[in-house]
Homo-oligomer: A and B are copies of this chain.
Amino acid sequence: MSKLTDVPKRILIGRALRSDKLGETLLPKRIALPVFASDPLSSVAYAPGEVLLVLSIAGVSAYHFSPWIALAVVVLMFTVVASYRQNVHAYPSGGGDYEVANTNLGPKAGLTVASALLVDYVLTVAVSISSGIENLGSAVPFVVEHKVLCAVAVIVLLTLLNLRGMKESGKLFAIPTYVFVIGVFIMLAWGAYRAFTGDDMTAPTAELEIKPEHPGLAGFALVFLLLRAFSSGCAALTGVEAISNGVPAFRKPKSKNAASTLAMMGTLAVVMFCGIIALAMESGVKMAEKPAVDLVRDGVPVGDSYVQNPVISQVAAAVFGQGTFFFVLLAAATALVLFLAANTAYNGFPLLGSILAQDRYLPRQLHTRGDRLAFSNGIVLLAGAAVLLVVVYGADSTKLIQLYIVGVFVSFTLSQTGMVRHWNRHLKTTKDPAKRRRMIRSRAINTFGAFFTGLVLVVVLATKFTHGAWVALLGMVIFYGTMTAIRKHYDRVADEIAAADGPSDDSLRPSRVHSIVLVSKVHKPTLRALAYAKLMRSDRLEALSISVDATETKALRDDWERRGINVPLKILDSPYREITRPIVEYVKGLRRESPRDVVSVYIPEYVVGHWYEHLLHNQSALRLKGRLLFTPGVMVTSVPYQLESSEAAKKRAKKRQDWNAPGAVRRGPVDRRPKETSKN
């Protein structure tokens, strides 16, 4: 069923796969790396700049602290990667931080992590797209001049693609991610070579001076500033946890492959991060928090018209030259990888939603795959929140990053703490000394991870709270509250409907069935409903018609008699042309007469193909059904009659079924069991 509009999509992402074939799409490492690591790798596009930018507050002399800050980020990165390698081995099911915290620290911790991750997904979209726009803007000025508009446009585009069921595919991720990584490495190598040979590299901002906001900062204030710079640099760590959620999507041996991919990712990220900072220092890049007033050219502030390009693009300009082929290629690849990083949130969100739905913190339908409506709502929610943030913060990645890191470190810390508990629990039951040794080693790694990420969380909260982190915390509280309320509702309902123990409940067992077929005219749908109702052999069967018009009723009676339909026809008068009330009252009357009987109401329904036809049919049937459902001891049967136009709707429904739910690839297939099993 090829469609014209599918052609560009086909070209972009290859032939669409039916979800039946999902099992065939397990990812090899070389594809898993770009699929899961586009988010952490792309963050080197903004993290180095954020470090310099904060340091500039104390003046350009503070830039010499940057290698130390980079070092701290590297240590943290290795800690986090080492910690998550333990997670991947311990939880090959891909539950990720939520599952780890939930299992080991209890549901409240789990829910906190889930709230943090949900906020995180929103910010991943907002930050990555804003930064992508800034990188693209360094090559195409138009884009950065209409920053908010372009950022919103990209969000809308990603949203539409995901709503239409765009599938994450290896190729889609692999090409731009590898172009980006290789491009950065070429830049680093070429830059190192030029620096080594004493070639002079000057960044576009090299000749600018920085007017420090707080010159001569020292003592506690300086330490606080360095901590703030470090917090900003931690943006490089966002998205590291993605692999631990995606273990089931890896080829076997799943855990081992996931762990190697994690290590690979950490190494790449660290090298790129440090390399970019080093080249930035070498080429004299200047970044300022408020560039318009703090950057000074020949004694005059550069003013509001000045656009502060990202560090990565300034370094590229210094190494390759502004506007050269390599410069433009790298800017484009950077922007593309950042957009892909944003797209990972569109896939991670439903994946997490599905797990939360299974634990009844979110509507159950999120748990079934391919529930397009439920996913659509999630996607629109995600996109709406991201657009709001982008508009409120003017698509300024620096401002958005202040919100970003809180959620990440909340989940890091709780997840690592959970892992410590995990090992403690297992150590109690494990006797094998070799296994115990490995566990003790893992526990040590996770303990250090928990301690270090916890420390960073405190630092981030202390240095970023008033800069915007409170917004992220507020978002977490809202998610937490909503999910708690949903869970409470489900629990209350589960209590209410729980079947009493022992063999099935006798009070629920009725004695007889009184069937009623609703009739307005004698036509095919009515005859079908009558035929079906007769087949069911209820204790009593009658046809019921509401008389709103004497002539029509007479015609019905005559027709009934003429055709010799052997079902008694009861007619209720409705002087005010109401339909619902007389029927509901009649049914209630039957129930009052014999409370142990069940009333079965058959409603002939037309099945039509277009939404506007729905407006013309079945309205009374729908309303009646709605009302009857509130009457105990009643069941309502729809006997459909498919009109010709229903074929159109059937086709649409079929097509809808072939839709790809976002997150399908990273979720991996569910274990296959024998296709059909029968019992009793």
Task: Name A's B-contacting residues (CB within 8 A).
Answer: 19-20, 22-23, 354, 358, 363-365, 367-371, 373-374, 486, 489-490, 493-494, 496-499, 502-505, 508-510, 512-513, 522-528, 530-532, 535-538, 547-550, 557, 560, 563-565, 567-573, 575-581, 598, 600, 602, 605-607, 613, 615-617, 619-620, 623, 625-630, 632, 634-644, 646, 649-650, 653, 657, 669-680
Contacts and interface: CB of A to CB of B under 8 A. Distances in A.
Given A572-B676, A628-B640, 13 more contacts: A23-B575, A365-B620, A367-B548, A373-B623, A489-B613, A489-B616, A497-B523, A505-B527, A508-B531, A532-B600, A547-B673, A575-B672, A635-B638
A675 B22 CA distance: 62
22 contacts: A19-B576, A20-B576, A364-B619, A489-B613, A493-B606, A497-B606, A504-B565, A508-B524, A510-B531, A532-B600, A537-B537, A560-B679, A560-B680, A567-B680, A568-B679, A570-B676, A570-B679, A576-B670, A627-B653, A635-B639, A637-B637, A638-B638
Closest 7 CB pairs of A and B: A568-B680, A629-B640, A637-B637, A365-B619, A497-B523, A369-B577, A497-B524
B523 A499 contact: yes
Contacts of A620: 364-365, 368, 371
Given A367-B577, A557-B679, A572-B676, A635 B640 contact: yes
Contacts of A512: 535
Nearest to A581: B657
Given A522-B499, A581-B657, A573 B527 contact: no
B573 A677 contact: yes
Contacts of A498: 523-524
A619 B503 contact: no
A641 B548 CA distance: 32
Given A573-B676, A673-B573, A578 B370 contact: yes
B513 A536 contact: yes
Contacts of A367: 548, 577
Contacts of A669: 575-576
Nearest to A653: B627
B527 A508 contact: yes
Nearest to A644: B496
Nearest to A627: B653
Contacts of A509: 531
Contacts of A530: 504
Contacts of A502: 563
Contact of A497 (B525, B576, B649, B680): B525
A649 B631 CA distance: 12
B637 A635 contact: yes
A489 B509 CA distance: 45
A679 B650 CA distance: 40
Contacts of A637: 600, 635-638
A380 to B, nearest CB: 14
A580 B513 CA distance: 29
Contacts of A646: 630
Contacts of A549: 358
A94 B230 CA distance: 83
B630 A568 contact: no
A568 B677 CA distance: 12
B536 A576 contact: no
B575 A670 contact: yes
Which of A557, A602, A670 is the most central at the interface, judged by chain B CB atoms within 10 Å of its CB?
Answer: A670
A312 to B, nearest CB: 40
A576 B369 contact: yes
Nearest to A533: B635
B548 A363 contact: no
A24 to B, nearest CB: 13
A537 B536 contact: yes
Contact of A368 (B497, B548, B570): B548
A596 B527 CA distance: 16
